[in-house]
Amino acid sequence: MEIRVNPTRMELLRLKKRLKVAVRGHKLLKDKFDELMKNFMQLVNESRRLRQEVESALTDSMQGFMMARAVMSREALEGAIAFPKVKAEITASVKNVMSIQVPAFQMVEPEYKGGIYPYGFAQTSGELDQAIRKLSDSLKSLIELAEVEKTVELLAAEIERTRRRVNALEYVMIPQLQEKIKFIVMKLDENERGNLTRLMKIKDIVRSAENS
């Protein structure tokens, strides 16, 4: 690549200052990246664990519902759960993980007055009760999963950005600056040598002129 810089001392000083900043920035970003990765790995493992847990619980519960649907009439089933007793709500606050805004969900604990079942037991089957209980039990994990997965997603985006910056600095900015600095130093040295030989030459000429 052609280097386009003025081989002057001013420019050299400027470039050296920039290189210093770049190196420092690189170090900082690298540290950030390492820390992000550490957090990220933890979260990934956590999300994997939760995901497996939730999936098996939900599949279980779904099968329960299928069973309930099989033994109950459609109208009865829908009627039974048409008006839920509880209202699932969460409070979402924003947590700060390494200057990334991630959500933190907190389940608003519903008041379970007289159980969660929004129906009498006379017309419904036991399978439905069980399915709802299972689902209700896994709701907490589900909410946790929602939080963790979102955090993983947001962290991943941040990691990608940081990685790009680190790489850009490491493989483009810093080498280019070093190259430019080297170029200027060489050019200045070359000028210096040129000057020196010129002086020597002139001195020779002057001396021979004096002698003759």
Partner 1 sequence: MPTHKIAAVGEEDIVLGFKALGIETFPVTDGDTTVKLLEQLINSQEYGIIFVSESMAEKVEGLMAEYGALPLPSVVYIPGTQGGQGFAMARIRRIIERAVGADILSK
- The answer to whether residue 115 forms part of the interface with partner 1 (CB under 8 A) is no
Distance CA 54, CA 60 (A): 10
Q: What is the largest CA-CA distance in the chain?
A: 133
Contact (Cβ atoms closer than 8 angstroms) between residue 58 and residue 135: yes
For partner 1, the closer CB: 31 or 78: 78
Report CA torsion sign: 168, 96, 46, 28.
positive
For partner 1, the closer CB: 131 or 173: 131
**HEC assignment per residue over 122-152:** CCCCHHHHHHHHHHHHHHHHHHHHHHHHHHH
DSSP assignment of 19-60 = HHHHHHHHHHHHHHHHHHHHHHHHHHHHHHHHHHHHHHHHHH
- The answer to whether residue 84 forms part of the interface with partner 1 (CB under 8 A) is yes
For partner 1, the closer CB: 145 or 184: 145
- The answer to whether residue 139 forms part of the interface with partner 1 (CB under 8 A) is yes
- The answer to whether residue 173 forms part of the interface with partner 1 (CB under 8 A) is no
For partner 1, the closer CB: 26 or 124: 124
- The answer to whether residue 39 forms part of the interface with partner 1 (CB under 8 A) is no
The residues of the shown chain that bind partner 1, judged by CB under 8 A, are 37, 40-41, 44, 47-48, 51, 54-55, 58-59, 61-62, 65-66, 69, 77-78, 81-82, 84-94, 101-103, 105-106, 108, 110, 116-118, 131-132, 135-136, 139, 142-143, 145-147, 149-150, 152-157, 159-160, 163
